[in-house]
Amino acid sequence: MQIKVVVTVPKTVFDDKAMVAELTRVQNSKTAPEVKRLFKNTTGDWQHNVDFQSRQRTTNSSIGVSVFPTGTNAKLYALVNNGAEPHDIPKSGTTFMRFQPGYRAATTPRVIRSRSKQRFGDYITTYKVRHPGFKGREFDSAIADFYRPEFTRDMQKVIDNQAKKAASPSNQETLK
């Protein structure tokens, strides 16, 4: 599971090394930290910390940043993001479980924030319980939808600024 925010631009943009360097700089200094912060907001009140890493990507026809969960709780994050089908807990059925049946999740589908979870009701002790499953939170697509316009504006601004620099009279004189 990862978020990809990608903008496709004319191939001539990537012929200019200064343009590619500036696009990369903005992605690493602005885009990646902002998108990682959005992902961190989805786990703000979680008991299990999730770390996120980013990877900047430039090909001969596109630019992009990928952000993905890492660390010991990355699989937990992927499970919450993608959801789960109904299943038995525990699978072996040889261990006692003790839990409160009332539950309010810390997260909501397609909402980029977290709140405190709540548990309530009298404790139940059992060997096995059928978990009803849950709908995926779809953090990755919600964050991509939210951030895509800003990423597009940032990359277009870099392209416009670099194009102005290339067209400036002082730059044209040095190219003669």
What is the distance, to the nearest Å, from the Cα of residue 12 to the centroid of all Cα atoms in its chain? 29
Measured at the CA of 168, the angle between CA 165 and CA 172, to 5 degrees, comes to 105
Domain limits, the chain: 3-86+134-175
> Is the model's pLDDT at 168 over the cut of 90?
no
Using DSSP, state whether 135 is helix, strand or coil.
strand
Residue 97 CA: distances (Å) to CA of 31, 76, 94, 103: 43, 20, 10, 16
Per-residue pLDDT tens over the stretch 50-69 = 999 999 887 777 778 889 99
Q: How confident is the model at residue 112 (pLDDT cuts 50, 70, 90)?
A: confident
* Residue that is written with structure tokens 């139940």 in the block: 124
Gap between the Cα atoms of 111 and 67, Å rounded? 17
How much of the chain exceeds pLDDT 90, in percent?
33
Q: How many CB atoms lie within 10 A of CB 67?
A: 25
Q: How confident is the model at residue 176 (pLDDT cuts 50, 70, 90)?
A: very low
- pLDDT for the residue numbered 37: 94
Per-residue pLDDT tens over the stretch 120-160 = 788 888 877 888 888 999 999 999 999 989 998 998 898 88
Per-residue pLDDT tens over the stretch 4-45 = 556 666 666 667 788 888 988 999 999 999 999 999 999 888
